[in-house]
């Protein structure tokens, strides 16, 4: 495997509130290697987007990183001053948000927004920046880029806007792109185009991608590895094919079974009882224990840490600890 | 299969999207109309789930609203159990109205936040005079039980429930007038997958128990495949293909259906290479001439640009495409 590009260790994100501190992300660790696509999945409230926001330093106050380390190529970035973080954001880590309408400024033309990003991060002249911007738009598949660059965001359709946002994220040739639900606001036929584009652009430039989504289909087609989050904790991480076809964590297994597919025939979908706990009432021990069908005594008292499994997989579940003890 | 419960004939809906009168005079513009639904025909048989799929702007929700009478049709007829919905008024209409209900997409918007859950569910019971007093409260309790909540929840407010639970409340409300037919407009698209599975299972159980007929609207093809007996595919307000549920996924006939199926990311990871889809849905104010799909169609011919294709029988249903006429079924 290639070098570790981004390493997240024991990340804790907290929100102080009047009724005490809410821990939204609780000791999450993972690595992203250069050039790979890491999928991050989970249901709403699992902490997917917060993980992305914490990495790029865009946590909304009062949210804060309360523990752990984030390293980009070995260099710590979680404790940088705002000025230092600004140099990394956009330059070394690009970001694609869910809603392409809100991530573009409606009052500026596409040209102004793209050249601003390029000029901020690269030592080029205005003329060169504009040429670069046109080349980028052309590359992300905007027809007649040289003419359309002077249009405003509202002149573009949703899919085209998301292409512009991708061009913006890649403008300074970052090493890592964090894509937070990049296709959720789009129709299926357009969704496929955007996924292909993100994949192509990143493999062309050797950039790694952290793809945050709730859509397992998108992950299955795009990611190399996938991390499954539950209630702000890492449930399972591993190669995408293994995790989807042979999930080991009971939550992942339930999640996969609950998704209707285009090929399988079954009358009923697998059903995980209950719902994900609120941050105010995360159960003691393993956060999944009230909904788990294989729960035993230890799950109620002790929280499982991710356990290394064959094939480069990690699973945070006591079932596998027991197995190892028996061997 | 039994006879048709709903029959939709030559249904059209145009929306007037013109600028205000003064702007039209000053800017010398014509009136503009958006054709949201164009000449749609289908029937829903008793006890089945008929699904409409399509991308945004294809007219799915407009059809759903016309079927339950929330917006009037521009032309065409909708027959409920043989009775036309337009023209029927007064007591006759009330009698029909009780027999169908609707479940909406967003359970945060479809429940009145100032009402107790019990009152929300009891409203149709009172409106149609099905029960009153303790009897009604009793029925509400039973309904809550049916959808997997507890009778005690009747005293709570909607904000005390999660999205999935609220959708259960919306289902209980839909069931309270003892309908035969329920229109479900994207009932699970606001929910997480594990909650979606719970709601879909519940809807199927209720269908088996109560013999319900569903019109199921969704953009999610895998959900539709799981739920539907028959499926209609919409493109720019036109019904391009209607087919038996599972067969549609095995042998899609219309080029648009094929394109749509190719575009869906697949969990099974069959390793198939998705064909990149060209273009986006055109503007419905100025739809393309002839077949509305021809600018994006891989098998478009000259004829498609001038003439709109008619429905034609296929081995699995019907589809409107000239290419199908070339290769006899």
Return the HEC string of B278-299: CCCCCCCCCCCCCCCCHHHCCC
Q: How confident is the model at residue B125, as a pLDDT?
A: 94
CATH architecture of A4-92+174-326: 3-Layer(aba) Sandwich (3.40)
Q: How confident is the model at residue A235, as a pLDDT?
A: 94
- For chain A, the domains span 4-92+174-326
Q: How confident is the model at residue B216, as a pLDDT?
A: 95
C-beta separation of A232 from A48 below 8 A: no
Q: What is the pLDDT of residues B10-28, one digit of tens each?
A: 999 999 888 888 988 998 8
In a 3-state reduction of DSSP, which class is residue B216?
Answer: strand
Reply yes or no on whether the pLDDT at A129 is more than 70: yes
Q: How confident is the model at residue B276, as a pLDDT?
A: 61
SS3 content of chain A, % helix, strand, coil (to 5): 35, 25, 40
CA distances from B251 to A61, B254, B258 (A): 52, 9, 8
Q: What is the pLDDT of residues A240-250, one digit of tens each?
A: 999 998 999 99
Q: What is the pLDDT of residues A14-47, one digit of tens each?
A: 999 888 888 999 999 999 998 899 999 988 888 8
Q: What is the pLDDT of residues B60-70, one digit of tens each?
A: 989 999 999 88
- A-chain CB neighbours of B260 within 8 Å are 188-189
A192 and B265 within 8 Å at the Cβ level: the answer is yes
For Cα atoms B223, B109, A100, give the angle at the middle one, nearest 5 degrees.
70
- From CA B115, how far away is CA B191, in angstroms rounded? 23
Kindly report the pTM of this predicted structure: 0.84
Best of B108, B189, B194, B278 to disrupt the A interface by mutation (most A CBs within 10 Å)? B194
Reply yes or no on whether the pLDDT at A173 is more than 50: yes
B193 and A190 within 8 Å at the Cβ level: the answer is no
Token reading at B188: 């699970």
Q: How confident is the model at residue A250, as a pLDDT?
A: 93
What CATH number labels B4-99+180-266+275-326? 3.40.50.300
Q: How confident is the model at residue B100, as a pLDDT?
A: 92
Reply yes or no on whether the pLDDT at A200 is more than 60: yes
Q: Comparing C-alpha atoms, which of A192, A113, A124 is closest to residue B273?
A: A192
- B-chain CB neighbours of A196 within 8 Å are 274, 276
Percent of chain B with pLDDT over 70: 95
Please state the φ and ψ torsions of residue B326, each to the nearest 5 degrees.
Answer: -65, -40
B259 and A189 within 8 Å at the Cβ level: the answer is yes
Q: Is A102 left (phi over 0), alpha (psi -120 to 50) or beta?
A: alpha
What mean pLDDT is predicted for residues A254-261?
87
C-beta separation of B124 from B173 below 8 A: yes
- From CA A170, how far away is CA A112, in angstroms rounded? 16
Reply yes or no on whether the pLDDT at B1 is more than 80: no
In a 3-state reduction of DSSP, which class is residue B319?
Answer: strand
Environment class of residue A224 by beta-carbon count within 10 Å: exposed (0-12), middle (13-18) or buried (19+)? middle
| Range list of H helices, chain B | 21-27, 60-67, 90-97, 117-127, 133-146, 163-175, 193-210, 221-227, 245-250, 255-263, 302-306, 322-326
The mean pLDDT of chain B is 88
Reply yes or no on whether the pLDDT at A1 is more than 60: no
Q: What is the pLDDT of residues B105-131, one digit of tens each?
A: 888 889 999 999 999 999 999 999 998
Q: How confident is the model at residue B202, as a pLDDT?
A: 93
Q: How confident is the model at residue B2, as a pLDDT?
A: 61
Those of residues 232-251 in B touching chain A at CB distance below 8 A are: 246, 249
Of B192, B197, B276, the CB nearest to A44: B192
What mean pLDDT is predicted for residues B210-239?
92
- A-chain CB neighbours of B263 within 8 Å are 188-189, 191-192
Higher-pLDDT residue of B254 and A266 is B254
- From CA A227, how far away is CA B287, in angstroms rounded? 43
Reply yes or no on whether the pLDDT at A327 is more than 60: no
Token reading at B18: 């013109």
Of A196, A217, A270, the CB nearest to B264: A217
CA of A256, closest CA in chain B: separation in Å?
9
Q: What is the pLDDT of residues B163-207, one digit of tens each?
A: 889 999 999 999 999 999 999 999 988 888 888 999 999 999 999
Name the pLDDT band for B274 (thresholds 50, 70, 90). low
Q: How confident is the model at residue A320, as a pLDDT?
A: 87
Q: How confident is the model at residue B268, as a pLDDT?
A: 64
The ipTM, to two decimals, is 0.77
Q: How many CB atoms lie within 10 A of CB A87?
A: 12
Q: How confident is the model at residue B329, as a pLDDT?
A: 44
- A-chain CB neighbours of B55 within 8 Å are 187-189
Name the pLDDT band for B92 (thresholds 50, 70, 90). confident
A216 and B269 within 8 Å at the Cβ level: the answer is no
- From CA A204, how far away is CA A269, in angstroms rounded? 39
In a 3-state reduction of DSSP, which class is residue A302?
Answer: coil
Best of A269, A272, A274, A290 to disrupt the B interface by mutation (most B CBs within 10 Å)? A269
- From CA B311, how far away is CA A28, in angstroms rounded? 56
**Reduced 3-state DSSP string for B165-204:** HHHHHHHHHHHCCCCCEEEEECCCCCCCHHHHHHHHHHHH
- From CA A322, how far away is CA B202, in angstroms rounded? 36
Reply yes or no on whether the pLDDT at A272 is more than 80: yes
Q: Comparing C-alpha atoms, which of B316, B323, B317, B263 is closest to residue B298?
A: B323
Q: How confident is the model at residue B328, as a pLDDT?
A: 52
CA distances from B213 to A268, B8, B100 (A): 18, 15, 9
- From CA A214, how far away is CA B192, in angstroms rounded? 8
Percent of chain B with pLDDT over 90: 50
Q: Is A261 on the interface with B (CB under 8 A)?
A: yes
């Amino acid at each position: 495997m290639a070098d570790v590009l981004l390493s997240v260790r024991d990340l804790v994100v907290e929100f102080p509130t009047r009724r005490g501190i809410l821990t939204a992300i609780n000791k999450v660790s993972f690595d992203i290697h250069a050039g790979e696509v890491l999928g991050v999945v989970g249901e709403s409230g699992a902490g997917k987007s917060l993980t992305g926001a914490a990495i790029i330093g865009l946590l909304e106050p009062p949210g804060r990183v309360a523990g752990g380390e984030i390293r980009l190529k070995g260099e710590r970035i979680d404790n940088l001053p705002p000025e230092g973080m600004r140099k990394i954001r956009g330059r070394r880590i690009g970001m694609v948000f869910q809603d392409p309408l809100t991530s573009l400024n409606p009052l500026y033309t596409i040209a102004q927004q793209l050249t601003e990003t390029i000029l901020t991060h690269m030592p080029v002249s205005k003329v060169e920046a504009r040429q670069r911007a046109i080349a980028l738009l052309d590359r992300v598949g905007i027809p007649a880029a040289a003419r359309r660059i002077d249009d405003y965001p509202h002149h573009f359709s949703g899919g085209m806007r998301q292409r512009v946002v991708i061009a913006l994220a890649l403008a300074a040739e970052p090493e890592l792109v964090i894509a937070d639900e990049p296709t959720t606001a789009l129709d299926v036929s357009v969704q496929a185009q955007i996924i292909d584009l993100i994949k192509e652009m990143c493999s062309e430039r050797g950039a790694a991608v952290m793809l945050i989504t709730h859509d397992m289909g998108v992950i299955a087609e795009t990611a190399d590895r996938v991390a499954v989050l539950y209630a702000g904790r890492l449930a399972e991480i591993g190669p995408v094919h293994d995790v989807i076809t042979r999930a080991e964590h009971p939550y992942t297994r339930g999640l996969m079974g609950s998704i209707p597919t285009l090929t399988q025939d079954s009358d009923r979908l697998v059903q995980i009882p209950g719902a994900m706990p609120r941050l105010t009432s995360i159960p003691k021990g393993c956060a999944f224990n009230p909904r788990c069908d294989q729960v035993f005594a230890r799950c109620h008292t002790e929280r499982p840490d991710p356990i290394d499994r064959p094939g480069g997989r990690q699973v945070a579940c006591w079932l596998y600890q027991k197995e190892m003890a028996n061997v | 299969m039994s006879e048709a419960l709903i029959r939709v004939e030559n249904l059209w809906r145009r929306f007037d999207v013109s600028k205000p009168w003064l702007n039209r005079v000053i800017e010398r513009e014509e009136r503009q109309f958006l054709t949201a639904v164009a000449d749609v025909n289908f029937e829903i048989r008793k006890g089945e789930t008929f699904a409409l799929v399509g991308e945004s702007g294809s007219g799915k929700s407009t059809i759903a609203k016309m079927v339950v009478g929330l917006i009037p049709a521009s032309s065409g007829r909708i027959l409920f159990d043989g009775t036309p919905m337009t023209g029927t008024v007064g007591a006759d209409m009330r009698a029909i109205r009780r027999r169908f209900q609707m479940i909406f997409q967003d359970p945060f918007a479809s429940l009145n936040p100032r009402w107790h859950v019990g009152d929300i569910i009891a409203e149709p019971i009172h409106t149609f005079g099905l029960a009153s007093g303790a009897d009604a409260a009793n029925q509400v309790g039973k309904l809550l039980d049916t959808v997997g909540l507890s009778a005690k929840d009747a005293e709570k407010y909607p904000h005390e429930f999660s999205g999935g639970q609220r959708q259960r409340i919306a289902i209980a409300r839909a069931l309270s007038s003892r309908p035969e037919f329920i229109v479900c407009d994207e009932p699970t698209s606001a929910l997480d997958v594990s909650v979606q599975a719970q709601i879909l299972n519940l809807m199927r159980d209720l269908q088996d128990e109560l013999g319900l007929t569903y019109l199921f609207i969704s953009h999610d093809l895998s959900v539709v495949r799981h739920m539907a007996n028959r499926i209609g595919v919409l493109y720019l307000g036109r019904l391009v293909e209607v087919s038996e549920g599972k067969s549609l996924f095995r042998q899609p006939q219309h080029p648009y259906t094929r394109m749509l199926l190719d575009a869906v990311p697949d969990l099974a990871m069959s390793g198939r290479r998705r064909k990149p889809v060209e273009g986006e849905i055109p503007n419905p104010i100025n739809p393309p001439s002839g077949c509305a799909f021809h600018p994006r169609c891989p098998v478009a011919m000259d004829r498609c640009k001038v003439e709109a294709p008619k429905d034609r029988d296929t081995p699995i249903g019907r589809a409107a495409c000239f290419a199908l006429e070339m290769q006899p079924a």
